[in-house]
A and B are shown apart, each in its own frame.
Chain A
Amino acid sequence: MNSIKFLYAAYIATWLIHGLYIGSLVRRYGRLRQQMKDLGRGK
């Protein structure tokens, strides 16, 4: 009966890892866009 917890844990862990990675991609993309804007302004 308890084994169902392990099943849920595995599925949650999978999407947590994917979510964290996609989050890191979005953050990096945002940072690059900002850098581009700063450079584009010509300072």
Chain B
Amino acid sequence: MKRAFPILAVLTALLLVYAFYQALWVAPTDALQGEVYRIIYYHVPSAWTAFLLFFINFIASVQYLANARPSTARAARWIVIAIGIIGFVAPFIPQVKQQLPTGMYPSSVATTFLIITGLYFVIGKYFVDQDLDVLAVTTAEVGVVFCSIVLVTGPIWARPVWGIWWAPGDIRLTSTLVLWLIYVSYLVLRRFSDSAQTQKLAAVLAVFGALDVPLVYFSIWFFRTQHPQPVIGGGGSMDPRMLHVLLISWMAFLCFAFLVCWSRYRLENLRRKVEEAEALESLLEPAGLAGPSSAVKTPLSRGSK
């Protein structure tokens, strides 16, 4: 796996350069906004990536809490299956279909629920116990980075197009800022709390924080807002060439996010191993057991690999 990282890093760098080239020179110029609209190729993929990372954080946190007891883990699995089935079938029921906002397709809603269910079980299969907590903190931190980019590039785009940096009271903008603040507080909690319950508290905060993600996403469907309508699945009329570049750009950012998450995940594991070794050493020191040949070396040698 270690050998795969540099190869993936090179491929991702190439993809990012290609996406950059496509965004600046290949995508057609917007008739209304001119060149400045090209901010979309960084702003929107960053937002989608942040949402995805916060969503993974939510699933990891739910599993971390649910796995505390086998009975709750089982119950959570059945609840997720039920949500998946209902979410997959319900959008095709005529009464529900009528309630969907214009441009939101039943098939895309059903697919989203299918992906949610699938992701829950995939994460549950490959991550257990503390791995879930490590995954949660990793995705929250990288998600905050991408969300910060959304909050910085958004006003830079708004200034020449709307004439203002920020639209106070706009639900899309405000809910995105609230989302960022929730996850920053999540990271602050993890950084500065010494309680043995920190991981559980952080997981609970993440579960409630994730409720803001659908609010951010669907706010432009359900509320009057200055923010433009969604470019995908919202009945938008984006030029196919622009959409093509947008998807390339998102792919590049997804690969980049994956690599950053990978590095952060390893860093978190290393940090925990060092903490473990320090704790073990402080326990052994008073008894005069610590030393180069003592048991302290065991976790360290594992951590250095």
Contact = CB atoms under 8 A, between A and B. Distances in A.
Interface of A: 2-4, 6-7, 9-11, 13-14, 17-18, 21-22, 25, 28-29, 32, 35-36, 39-43
B293 to A, nearest CB: 8
B98 interface: no
B278 interface: yes
A7 B149 CA distance: 14
Contacts of A17: 145, 148-149, 152
B58 interface: no
29 contacts: A4-B35, A4-B36, A6-B156, A6-B157, A6-B159, A7-B36, A10-B42, A10-B152, A10-B156, A11-B20, A11-B39, A11-B42, A13-B149, A13-B153, A14-B149, A14-B153, A17-B145, A25-B263, A29-B270, A32-B270, A36-B277, A39-B278, A39-B281, A39-B300, A40-B292, A42-B290, A42-B291, A42-B293, A43-B290
A7 B152 contact: no
Given A36-B303, A40-B297, A6 B274 contact: no
Q: Is the interface of B mostly helix, strand, loop or mixed?
A: helix
A10 B294 contact: no
A10 B157 contact: yes
B192 to A, nearest CB: 16
B292 A42 contact: yes
Given A7-B35, A13-B156, A42-B290, A21 B260 contact: yes
B264 interface: yes
A21 B141 CA distance: 10
B184 to A, nearest CB: 14
